[in-house]
Amino acid sequence: MSSPHAAQILVASNRGPVSYTLREDGELDSRRGGGGLVSGLSAVGGDADSLWVCAALGEGDREAVRRGAGEDGVRMLDIDAEVHHAAYNDIANSVLWFVHHMLYQTPLEPVFDAAFRQQWAAYRTYNRAFADALAAEAAKGAVVLVQDYHLALVPGMLRELRPDLRIGHFSHTPWAPVDYFRLLPDDIGEELLRGILGADRAGFLTRRWADAFIGCCTEVLGGTGRTRIGVHGLGADAGFLRARSHEPDVERRMQELRGRIGGSGDRKTIVRVDRTELSKNIVRGLHAFRELLDTRPEWRGRLVHLALAYPSRQDLAVYRDYMDEVRRVADAINSRYGTDDWTPVVLYLKDDFARSLAAYRLADVALVNPIRDGMNLVAKEVPVVSDHGCALVLSREAGAHEELGPDAVTVNPYDVSGTAAALHEALTMPGPERAERTGRLAAAATALPPQRWFLDQLEALTASP
């Protein structure tokens, strides 16, 4: 049943808009996150009766829940830590993420055994906790927007508890093609699809991912039932980015980066900014940079690869190993080619948004070469922020390629030699062409700003079927 202060618009996601850390003196520090959903939800205004339901992720968050210290408009669920670990790390990030991004080394993995079944039971429990909380908080006929692969079972569970609600589910990842999706045990695949089909509307970032979902539903279940399918290609927030990227801390980072690039202002830069995420293909990007230096000696001493690779999902060994590999390959390139006054790869491994914006502003070429990516907002942000125009080398497997492909230099992310050639092409693109393409890329990248993206989903969900 709904609570007396029931909400009209609810968002549910694993990671919420705020996180807490416990200081040594026992006080709690809170930090607001950014991202499309945060600015999207701001579109409905502070007065709207909205509620964001999310999980407590660390000790600080759990303590905030215990102290009742949460912010207005946010409800954090203090789900048992072991249940959360199994649901988030073992299922969401080690199975569902791997399926949708096609990351398995299939001769040895995945293995769906008894341990997996236990983890799956935890994933159900965790989804159930969200469904219960949403059912308790939602006003009659309210709209609930459930986010991502962590919460794929929530729509079905919630539908049973509260048939009066308008439920949307949105996938921020790609969706696996049916042959790959079928790696999952049959009953689990069915449960996942039925979970999402509990929603009135299932949203995706591109037509390609929506079609893959429809393909899975058709093959596995015989159709999508009454659920409508929508495509909403989240764009960059131009106003915010342009203002934020001219603040003093960004100017200071530009000075610092110029110092690290060295030379007398004549060196070119290839920039990449990513979470150190298996799907981002950072290692092959470094191999491509090395091949460029191997095969085109004219670039030696004249080019720097700025790689900003921020830690992500460090609870998982495979992510920690991947980060080590990024470091190892970068070091190997620097040992082979570096000189007293030239470091070919400048690697930053600490998250720093001001530095990312500074790198965007300086970039001659942006390298965005994921194996597979729901959208990739870096590809959309660089052209908006770039000072002098930036050529974009873009994987055809990134969702953003659907909109940016015509003005990018397209690569197959597995083709290292092809990527090296694309980097050369991008570096030698004539200035006027580069500027024109950047203008068109920026226009395409900002076509659907986060607030519009969010409102479109709300409107589609409240419109009669």
* Main-chain phi, psi angles of 345, to 5 degrees: -115, 120
Q: Tell me the closest approach of the beta carbon of residue 155 to ligand F6P, in angstroms.
A: 17
Does 279 contact ligand F6P by CB under 6 A? Answer: no
Q: Tell me the closest approach of the beta carbon of residue 272 to ligand F6P, in angstroms.
A: 16
Does 15 contact ligand F6P by CB under 6 A? Answer: yes
> DSSP characters for 330-364?
HHHHHHHH-BTTB-SEEEE-S--HHHHHHHHHH-S
**Contact between residue 345 and residue 330 where contact means Cβ atoms under 8 Å apart:** yes
For ligand F6P, the closer of residues 84 and 172 by Cβ is 172
Chain centre distance of CA 37: 11
Does 313 contact ligand F6P by CB under 6 A? Answer: yes
* Residue 253, token pair as written in the block: 């980072």
Sign of the dihedral defined by the CA atoms of residues 242, 411, 230, 91, in that order: negative
CA distances from 450 to 37, 43, 183, 199, 205 (A): 7, 9, 34, 22, 12
For ligand F6P, the closer of residues 50 and 94 by Cβ is 94
Does 84 contact ligand F6P by CB under 6 A? Answer: no
Does 235 contact ligand F6P by CB under 6 A? Answer: no
Measure the CA–CA gap between 8 and 50, rounded to whole angstroms: 6
Does 159 contact ligand F6P by CB under 6 A? Answer: no
x-marked contacts with ligand F6P along 352-391 as a string, rule CB under 6 A: ----------------------x-----------------
What's 71-106 look like in SS3? CCCEEEECCCHHHHHHHHHHHHHHHHHHHHHCCCCC
Does 172 contact ligand F6P by CB under 6 A? Answer: yes
Q: Tell me the closest approach of the beta carbon of residue 244 to ligand F6P, in angstroms.
A: 18
Q: Tell me the closest approach of the beta carbon of residue 61 to ligand F6P, in angstroms.
A: 13
Residues 323-352 that bind ligand F6P (CB under 6 A): none
Does 312 contact ligand F6P by CB under 6 A? Answer: yes
For ligand F6P, the closer of residues 127 and 173 by Cβ is 173
Half-sphere exposure of 101 (CA within 13 A, CB side): 26
Half-sphere exposure of 438 (CA within 13 A, CB side): 25
Does 300 contact ligand F6P by CB under 6 A? Answer: no
Does 60 contact ligand F6P by CB under 6 A? Answer: no
* Residue 232, token pair as written in the block: 């909403």
Does 173 contact ligand F6P by CB under 6 A? Answer: yes
For ligand F6P, the closer of residues 172 and 372 by Cβ is 172
Q: Tell me the closest approach of the beta carbon of residue 101 to ligand F6P, in angstroms.
A: 10
Does 203 contact ligand F6P by CB under 6 A? Answer: no
Sign of the dihedral defined by the CA atoms of residues 64, 57, 275, 208, in that order: negative
**Backbone dihedral region for residue 30 (phi beyond 0: left; psi -120 to 50: alpha; all else: beta):** beta
**Contact between residue 54 and residue 77 where contact means Cβ atoms under 8 Å apart:** yes
For ligand F6P, the closer of residues 374 and 450 by Cβ is 374
For ligand F6P, the closer of residues 119 and 173 by Cβ is 173
The residues binding ligand F6P (CB under 6 A) are: 15, 148, 172-173, 312-313, 374
